[in-house]
Structure 1
Amino acid sequence: MGKSPQHRDLFAGALELMVLHSLRIKPMHGYALVKHIQQVSDDLLQIEEGSLYPALQRMLREGWLEAEEGVSAKGRPTRIYQLTKSGMKRLEQEKSSFEKMFEGITRVLAVVKA
C-alpha cells in the first residue's frame, strides 16, 4: 500500500536542515526535537525517531553537533544536542541550497499550459 500524500518522505537534507535550525534556537534532546518540529509545522511534519537518531549520530560524527548528558522533563537521563560553529556553517550552506532548490521548483510549478 502506498503512502498518502499527507505522509510523504522528506527530501534529502530536509531533516538535517530542520534539526540544525531547531538547535540554533536552543539545545534539545531527541524527543524534544521531534515535538518541536511537529508543533512548529502545525503537525504537517512528523519526524520518525528511527530517522532522527541516525541523523543525529551522523551530525555528531561530522562535528556539526555536540551532545552532553542531561535530564529530560520527566527526570530521565538523556543526551542534549547543541549546534557547533561547524554546524552553524553547515546550516547556512543547507539553507542557501534549499532556497535555490525551492526557487527552481517554484519556477517549474509556475509554468502553465499554453
Structure 2
Amino acid sequence: MNLTWWSIEVRDGETPARQWRDSWSSSLLEAAVTHGAHDFIWQAEPFGVVLELGFAEHETGAWDRFRQLPAVVAALDAVDPRTLYVYPGRGGSAGAGLPRRTPRPIVEDAAPLPVTPAPLLLARAT
C-alpha cells in the first residue's frame, strides 16, 4: 500500500517541544487512526519533535479531514506559530531529496600540492 506522508514538526521554543508532544500525543494519534492514518511515527530530534502520518494514497481528502478535526486544531493552536511546521512528506531525519556534497577540507598552513615540473626542451645544434 502506497502512503502519502505528512509531517507536523514542532521546534523547541519557550517551552520544550517534548512537553507539547506529551500533552497532545494521545489526542493526535487517536484522531489520526480513526480518520484514515495507516502508519505514524514520533521522532525526537535535537531541535524538537516530528510526527509523521501516513495516509493511503487512494483515500483522497483524508489529510484534510484530519487537519480540520477540533482535537487537531486545538493541538496545533497550542504551539507557538513560530515553531510549528506542517508540510507534505516525511520530516526530521528523512534526509534531503538531493545527495549532500562532500565538503572540502579546510586546512591552514598545509604543505602546497606537489607541482609537476614542465618538461625540459633541448635544442640541438645543427
Q: Tell me which protein shows more strand as a share of its residues.
A: 2
TM-score, with length taken from structure 1: 0.29
Q: Whose Rg is larger?
A: 2
* RCO higher in structure (CA 8 A, sep ≥6): 2
TM-score, with length taken from structure 2: 0.27
Q: Tell me which protein shows more helix as a share of its residues.
A: 1
